[in-house]
Structure 1
Amino acid sequence: MNLDHIYKIISLLAAAFLVNSCVEPYDFETETFEDALVVEAILTDEVKFQEVKLTRTYRLEEDFPKPESHANVVVTDDAGNEFPFYETTPGNYVSNTAFGVQPQHKYQLLINTMSGDAYSSEPAELLPGNEIDDLYAQRMILQGDDGVALLVDSENSEAASKYALYEYEETYKIVSPYVVRSTIEFEGENWRVVPNTRNETICYNTVPSKEILLSNTTSLRENNLDSYLVRFIQKDDPVLGQRYSILVKRYSLTREAHSYYSTLKKISGSQSLLSQNQPGFVNGNMYSLNDEDEKVLGFFTLSNISTKRIYFNYYDFFEFDEPRPQFPESCIPFRPGENFDTPIGMIQGGTVRYLSMAGPPVEGEIGEGPIRVIATECVDCTVYGTNEVPEFWEE
């Protein structure tokens, strides 16, 4: 799960400094920073290679968290089994073997860092969850915006957890507004027009969710979830322009895990880091074995997982006289410069692509140069995604 932006906020809150009702400019760079281990670990009952992510808190002026590399990561259970993890990329650890956590067993996460520090989670148990009964799209007006809502229904059993965490992964098709049949090929200082053989007309992009989506049915008469909003996409968002797919994952949570993620959600949605109700350090279920006063961020979670995917096209919800939104919004061919030097230089620089030789001036056309060009993003969909079709994709 991508919680880096949330943990950046926690990095500031870990210092738990106080502010007065009159907020004055404050230098965050040194005094309010506290270095701490950040643990992201949701293990599921799905038999797969489980993942654990380890990073460090980082300063406000920094863009990315520092990975915690070369750590020894092991998950144990109360039956004496050990599941070691190995580092695939800096800070990302994957189990040596595929496994799924089992009900009625307790699991524990153990971490030993290269610097000699040792950490552990509290013992965790798997709570039963429920299947996503239905995932569907519906056009609606939400807070004055026209668009498509992605909704979930789930009929829960009384024995199942009443708390859940949702995440999604959306994939959308991109079609270039212009198709170029020819292109410019360079040989030293010389150039010539040749057929375009690039696969750049149809692409796909996959984007994971970044927000924390939680459900809680404890206040409901029945433990059912109806029309839970996972994602709302405005009508003019180009991700809707062609074909769209969304994969939704539902993780069962304990009450304690739900409380932890609720706090993170509240912090991430705060209008100001210097608010009057500073929550301070966010307690999880990870702790240091070397220093009881050391702060550790994160929560070791065991979850029952349910997944569902759907597909739809733009005109499944919109009329044919409603123009598709597209990447990019506007594409206008033009004829730069007065000779070949200007357009050829721009083509070499990659900002534009060759469309055709221009010929005589045309009324209303921009420029009077000898070559007609267009912005690269108007013909090359790989600017926005990949031209490789995802394995799961269905037309």
Structure 2
Amino acid sequence: MPKTEFLKKYIFIIILALASCIDPYEVTVEEGLQLLTIEGIITDQLGPHNIKLTRSDTYGSVFEGLIRPVAGATVIVRDDTGKVIFLTEDNENRGNYLTPASFSGEVGRSYTLQIQLSDGKVYTSLPEKLSAVPPIDNLSYQVERIPVEGEINEDSGVQFLVDLKDPADENNFYFWKKGESVHVLETRPDLYTEPPPSRAPAPKDCCEVCYKTEKTSNTAIFIAQDDNFNGLSTRLPAGFVLDNGLRFVNTFRIDISQFSISQEAYRFLRLVKQQSELSGSVFDPPPANIRGNMISLDNPDETVLGFFMAAGEVKERIYINGADLDFRQPRKIIADDCRVVEDSSINPPFDWNP
């Protein structure tokens, strides 16, 4: 064997021996603070109203949002007359605490949320006054087309607009929230094929038309203050639903709630909105934990996230015939029985009335 070849093999054997003696390097990541987060709103409408308690583990800018429900807490709402409302934990959705269905807040009353965790720690909100909300005079919609960078085809969706008459001689702050939506789901069971590896055609006799219920995700926070329209009639954006190629093929229905919130709640939501609308470039400031109106009675320096709100509420429902939209996404094909789609039924909701 040539000397050079022998040396190469000898060096390789030494490297392998050294590598086998090196202990593996274990990367440990320090666990972040477990921050208590409170989400919830009570209104002057009949309940149940939901207060959600979670803890979020944060790991710097890399890992965000290991969300854990906080179960086993005692949760009450107290008004400024001393009346106490006890909330009951939802056994199917732990960490969610519900007021009685018969409870509704009163306009002019102030409400405080109080929480005692299973470990004995106690938290309270600052008082929130429940203010009256003007009615929605009209709920309408328009198509919004959204250019996508680097793509030929645009995204699109439906923007919802409310007309209202703002009360004069007072500062008003508004918040809009989408409720559950229902749409007619059309599928193609006649195109069904067997699972791989066969993929042989196996058309199904049923069913082509279902009613799908869903809670569409929020792409933005819709809020307003009346600095520019105090005492006037105005039209404001109140929600947006993305067209996914299924929702607007036939008939779509959604409820929009309009809330009259406090100035403090408006400021909180505005900060959350500003943070959520950051472009996400490397030059953006890091996400901040926005403190709300909750404090710890055991440790006032503890950071508690979220905001407890009390608000007047009105709700409007709207039906949209997809054929009336001036632009829609290409229709998506689901080659199966529509009943296999989650939260779908061949029976319409009891109050379906397009």
TM class by shorter-chain length? 0.7 to 0.9
- Aligned position for 1:327: 332
Please, what TM-score do these two structures have when normalized by structure 1? 0.68
Is contact 1:128-1:159 (8 Å) kept? no
In structure 2, distance between residues paired with 1:65 and 1:325: 36
Unmatched runs of 5 consecutive residues or more in structure 2: 1-26, 148-153, 195-200
Q: What is the percent sequence identity of the aligned residues? A: 25
Instruction: Tell me the SS of whatever aligns to 1:239.
Output: coil
Aligned residue among 147, 157, 176 for 1:166: 176
Identify if the C-alpha distance between structure 1 residues 252 and 209 changes in structure 2 by more than 3 Å, giving closer, same or farther: farther
In structure 1, distance between residues paired with 2:107 and 2:310: 10
CA distances 1:307-348 after superposition (whole Å, capped 9, x unpaired): 101112122235xxx8984332xxxxxxxxxxxxxxxxxxxx
Is contact 1:173-1:242 (8 Å) kept? yes
Identify if the C-alpha distance between structure 1 residues 116 and 229 changes in structure 2 by more than 3 Å, giving closer, same or farther: closer
Instruction: Tell me the SS of whatever aligns to 1:38.
Output: strand
Code of the aligned partner of 1:164: Y
Matched, 1:259 2:244: no
- Aligned position for 1:69: 71
- Aligned position for 2:46: 47
Instruction: Tell me the SS of whatever aligns to 2:264.
Output: helix
Aligned residue among 304, 312, 333 for 1:304: 312
Instruction: Tell me the SS of whatever aligns to 2:295.
Output: strand
- Aligned position for 2:335: 378
Please show how residues 13-52 of structure 1 align to structure 2 within 5 Å.
Answer: 29-30=29-30, 33-52=32-51
Unmatched runs of 5 consecutive residues or more in structure 1: 1-26, 185-192, 329-376
Is contact 1:173-1:203 (8 Å) kept? yes
Identify if the C-alpha distance between structure 1 residues 275 and 119 changes in structure 2 by more than 3 Å, giving closer, same or farther: farther
CA distances 1:241-296 after superposition (whole Å, capped 9, x unpaired): 11111210111111110010111111122233865544733121100010111111
CA distances 1:47-75 after superposition (whole Å, capped 9, x unpaired): 22221110011335466510010000011
Is contact 2:76-2:87 (8 Å) kept? yes
Please show how residues 193-204 of structure 1 align to structure 2 within 5 Å.
Answer: 198-199=206-207, 201-204=209-212
Code of the aligned partner of 2:225: N
Is contact 1:172-1:240 (8 Å) kept? yes
- Aligned position for 1:231: 240
Identify if the C-alpha distance between structure 1 residues 109 and 324 changes in structure 2 by more than 3 Å, giving closer, same or farther: closer
Code of the aligned partner of 1:65: I
- Aligned position for 1:212: 221
Identify if the C-alpha distance between structure 1 residues 226 and 385 changes in structure 2 by more than 3 Å, giving closer, same or farther: same
CA displacement at 1:152 relative to structure 2: 1.4
Is contact 1:177-1:378 (8 Å) kept? yes
Is contact 2:54-2:95 (8 Å) kept? yes
- Aligned position for 2:18: none
- Aligned position for 2:83: 81
Choose 265-274 or 287-296, whichever is displaced more.
265-274
CA displacement at 1:174 relative to structure 2: 0.7
Code of the aligned partner of 1:378: A
Code of the aligned partner of 2:68: K
- Aligned position for 2:165: 155
Please, what TM-score do these two structures have when normalized by structure 2? 0.76
In structure 1, distance between residues paired with 2:89 and 2:291: 26
Identify if the C-alpha distance between structure 1 residues 153 and 141 changes in structure 2 by more than 3 Å, giving closer, same or farther: same
Code of the aligned partner of 1:101: G
In structure 2, distance between residues paired with 1:168 and 1:389: 20
Matched, 1:125 2:133: no
In structure 2, distance between residues paired with 1:63 and 1:378: 35
Identify if the C-alpha distance between structure 1 residues 314 and 308 changes in structure 2 by more than 3 Å, giving closer, same or farther: same
In structure 2, distance between residues paired with 1:300 and 1:173: 35
Code of the aligned partner of 1:230: G
CA displacement at 1:97 relative to structure 2: 5.2
